[in-house]
Amino acid sequence: MSAPARKLRVATTSLAGCFGCHMSFLDIDEHLFELVELIEFDRSPLTDIKEVGPCDIGLIEGGVCNAENVHVLRAFRRNCKTLIALGACAVNGGLPAQRNHLPLSECLREVYQFRPGIANGQIPNDPELPLPLDKVRPIHEVVRIDYFLPGCPPSGPAIWKFLTDLIAGRSPRLTGGLLHYD
């Protein structure tokens, strides 16, 4: 792939995720050298930039489990021309969403008050802590999403295929066994 006139600006973040998708992103290994010829990073755990700026591509790992996630997701949507749900949790809520059939108060009490070994436990209530939502949501239920890349995590080759399709101006397509939900 020839280098574009201007490098594409890419932002990434993990909301209610485990950073496994980001680890998988790094699993594209030596393709990272090709990638840095084509893109530069904006907000991302890789740069430590705290606020997202105008970008071509935004990669979102994880679902939406609290108020801060909503804020970050909306900021990404405002700034990114193309927004991508990266991985199972962003696509359908994933593991964090498995609390969805339980009342939130019960979850919090179970973890912070009744867990064995806890004495005088209290549910954290610091104003700095983002408030949890009653249900964990996939990101497409909060903002418009342009592309979805499922998998837990999507494999390095799947991420590479997806990004190279996108950068080359093709509709990204996961063929040849690259599409997996697990």
Partner 1 sequence: MKQFLLDGQPVPFADGQSILEAARQAGHYIPSLCWHKDFPAHGSCKLCIVKAAGRHVSACATPAREGWEVESNTPEMNGERRGLLQMLFVEGNHFCPSCEKSGSCELQALGYEYEMLTSRFRHFYPDRPVDASHPDVLLDFNRCIFCELCVRASRDVDGKSVFALTGRGIHKHLVVNAESGRLADTDFSKDDMAAHICPVGVILHKGPGFAVPIGERTYDTSSIRSLKLQEEDS
Which residues share a beta bridge with 64? 137
Backbone phi, psi, residue 37, to 5°: -75, -25
Q: Give least dist CB 111 to partner 1, A.
A: 19
Q: Among residues 116 and 177, whose Cβ is nearest to partner 1?
A: 177
Q: Among residues 41 and 133, whose Cβ is nearest to partner 1?
A: 133
Which residues share a beta bridge with 9? 40
- What residues from 73 to 112 belong to the interface with partner 1 (CB under 8 A)? 85, 88, 91-95, 97-98, 100-101
Q: Give least dist CB 80 to partner 1, A.
A: 17
What is the Cα–Cα distance from 148 to 140, expressed in whole angstroms?
9
**Cβ–Cβ < 8 Å for 85, 147:** yes
Q: Among residues 50 and 101, whose Cβ is nearest to partner 1?
A: 101
Only one residue has tokens 């290994």, namely 29
Residue 179's SS3 state is: coil
Q: Which x/- pattern over 134-163 shows residues binding partner 1 (rule: CB under 8 A)?
A: -x-xx-xx---x-xxxx-x-----------
Longest dimension (CA), the chain: 62
Contact footprint for partner 1 (CB under 8 A)? 85, 88, 91-95, 97-98, 100-101, 135, 137-138, 140-141, 145, 147-150, 152, 173-174, 177, 179-182
